[in-house]
Amino acid sequence: MKPNGKNQEQLTDDEYNNWFPHISPDGKWIVFLSYMPDMQPDQHPFYQHVYLRIMPVNGGKPKVIAYLYGGQGTINTPSWSPDSKRIAFVSNSAVE
Protein backbone atom coordinates (compact mmCIF):
# COMPACT_ATOMS: atom_id res chain seq x y z
CA MET A 1 0.00 0.00 0.00
CA LYS A 2 1.01 3.60 -0.31
CA PRO A 3 2.28 5.41 2.81
CA ASN A 4 -1.16 6.99 3.23
CA GLY A 5 -2.79 3.52 3.41
CA LYS A 6 -4.42 3.69 -0.01
CA ASN A 7 -4.07 1.17 -2.85
CA GLN A 8 -3.71 -1.84 -0.58
CA GLU A 9 -2.69 -4.99 -2.42
CA GLN A 10 -2.57 -8.56 -1.13
CA LEU A 11 0.83 -10.15 -1.77
CA THR A 12 0.35 -13.63 -0.33
CA ASP A 13 -2.23 -16.19 -1.35
CA ASP A 14 -1.57 -19.47 0.41
CA GLU A 15 -2.98 -21.64 3.18
CA TYR A 16 -1.03 -19.90 5.97
CA ASN A 17 -2.21 -17.04 8.19
CA ASN A 18 0.40 -14.35 7.59
CA TRP A 19 1.06 -11.62 10.14
CA PHE A 20 3.49 -8.85 11.16
CA PRO A 21 5.07 -7.87 7.82
CA HIS A 22 8.26 -5.80 7.97
CA ILE A 23 9.79 -4.23 4.86
CA SER A 24 13.59 -4.18 4.66
CA PRO A 25 15.34 -0.77 4.84
CA ASP A 26 16.42 -1.10 1.19
CA GLY A 27 12.77 -1.65 0.20
CA LYS A 28 13.44 -4.98 -1.53
CA TRP A 29 12.13 -7.59 0.94
CA ILE A 30 9.26 -8.33 3.31
CA VAL A 31 9.73 -10.64 6.27
CA PHE A 32 6.66 -11.94 8.10
CA LEU A 33 5.34 -14.71 10.34
CA SER A 34 3.15 -17.47 8.98
CA TYR A 35 0.88 -19.35 11.35
CA MET A 36 -0.20 -22.88 10.45
CA PRO A 37 -3.44 -23.27 8.47
CA ASP A 38 -5.39 -24.54 11.50
CA MET A 39 -4.90 -21.22 13.37
CA GLN A 40 -7.93 -18.94 13.20
CA PRO A 41 -7.19 -16.04 10.80
CA ASP A 42 -8.14 -13.43 13.41
CA GLN A 43 -5.74 -14.84 16.04
CA HIS A 44 -1.99 -14.27 16.39
CA PRO A 45 -0.99 -15.70 19.80
CA PHE A 46 2.51 -16.31 21.13
CA TYR A 47 4.22 -19.70 21.65
CA GLN A 48 2.97 -21.35 18.47
CA HIS A 49 4.68 -23.24 15.68
CA VAL A 50 5.28 -20.55 13.06
CA TYR A 51 7.40 -19.99 9.99
CA LEU A 52 9.47 -16.86 9.54
CA ARG A 53 9.26 -16.22 5.80
CA ILE A 54 10.73 -13.72 3.36
CA MET A 55 9.63 -12.63 -0.09
CA PRO A 56 10.36 -9.85 -2.60
CA VAL A 57 8.40 -6.69 -1.84
CA ASN A 58 6.81 -6.79 -5.31
CA GLY A 59 5.46 -10.30 -4.74
CA GLY A 60 6.64 -13.79 -5.47
CA LYS A 61 6.84 -17.08 -3.66
CA PRO A 62 7.69 -16.73 0.06
CA LYS A 63 10.76 -18.62 1.30
CA VAL A 64 10.96 -20.13 4.80
CA ILE A 65 13.99 -18.82 6.67
CA ALA A 66 13.15 -20.26 10.12
CA TYR A 67 10.71 -22.62 11.80
CA LEU A 68 10.27 -21.66 15.44
CA TYR A 69 8.08 -21.31 18.50
CA GLY A 70 6.86 -17.77 18.34
CA GLY A 71 4.03 -15.55 17.25
CA GLN A 72 2.93 -12.42 19.06
CA GLY A 73 6.17 -10.74 20.16
CA THR A 74 8.52 -12.49 17.70
CA ILE A 75 8.96 -9.57 15.29
CA ASN A 76 6.68 -6.82 16.63
CA THR A 77 9.27 -4.06 16.24
CA PRO A 78 11.47 -3.23 13.26
CA SER A 79 13.56 -6.35 12.88
CA TRP A 80 15.93 -5.57 10.01
CA SER A 81 19.55 -4.53 10.31
CA PRO A 82 20.22 -1.15 8.66
CA ASP A 83 21.96 -2.85 5.70
CA SER A 84 18.99 -5.23 5.09
CA LYS A 85 21.22 -8.31 5.50
CA ARG A 86 20.03 -9.61 8.89
CA ILE A 87 16.76 -10.08 10.75
CA ALA A 88 16.34 -10.17 14.53
CA PHE A 89 13.56 -12.27 16.02
CA VAL A 90 12.55 -13.96 19.27
CA SER A 91 11.95 -17.70 19.53
CA ASN A 92 10.27 -19.01 22.68
CA SER A 93 10.87 -22.35 24.30
CA ALA A 94 9.40 -24.14 27.28
CA VAL A 95 11.16 -23.68 30.62
CA GLU A 96 10.97 -26.64 32.97
Q: Within a domain: residue 12?
A: no
Q: Within a domain: residue 64?
A: yes
Q: Tens digit of pLDDT for each residue in 36-93?
A: 878 777 766 667 788 999 999 988 999 999 888 777 777 877 789 999 999 988 887 6
Instruction: Please give the tally of structural domains in the chain.
Output: 1
Q: Within a domain: residue 83?
A: no
Q: Within a domain: residue 96?
A: no
Query: Which range of residues forms the domain containing residue 63?
Result: 17-70
Q: Within a domain: residue 78?
A: no
Q: Within a domain: residue 7?
A: no
Distances (CA, A) of 76 to 36, 60, 95: 19, 23, 22
Q: Tens digit of pLDDT for each residue in 3-31?
A: 788 888 878 888 888 888 889 999 999 99
Q: Within a domain: residue 46?
A: yes
Q: Within a domain: residue 26?
A: yes
List the 17-23 sheet strands across, edge first: 17-23, 29-35, 48-56, 63-70
